[in-house]
Amino acid sequence: VQLVESGGKSVKPGESLRLSCVASGFNVGDSVIGWFRQAPGKEREGVACISFGDGDSYYADSMKGRFTISRDVAKNTAYLQMDNLKPEDSGDYYCAAALLVLGGQWLLYNIDEYDYWGQGTPVTVSS
């Protein structure tokens, strides 16, 4: 099983980034893929998740508006589009897979529901 994130880098405030998460080794269509982030010294927090089979997406209340989650079924890849980035968006971004669960915002607040995690990709927003 693998979840491999990519796309993180250093950008300036106001710029955009798209992160990718390639999943393999399990039935991705039966999973919910979530994006989380963790800033230094802070707890990991949920950003968005998507039911890979039907594409239903959910966002943490504080993340609505600037973040968009999507997926490409043919590529087994989930994306996180981040627009108008702010310095407080800096941190390590992780994708994770929860198997055989119903999608919903609740999954963004229950990290223990996730079965697999990627290694993370760093995002730095600084002028």
Q: Calculate what percentage of the chain has a pLDDT beyond 90.
A: 94
Q: Where are the beta strands (DSSP E) in the chain?
A: 2-6, 10-11, 17-24, 31-38, 45-51, 57-59, 67-72, 77-82, 91-99, 116-117, 121-125
Ramachandran region, residue 62 (left: φ > 0; alpha: ψ -120 to 50; beta: rest): alpha
At 3 the pLDDT is 98
Quick: pLDDT tens for 46-86: 999 999 999 999 999 988 899 999 999 999 999 999 999 99
Average pLDDT over residues 96-108: 93
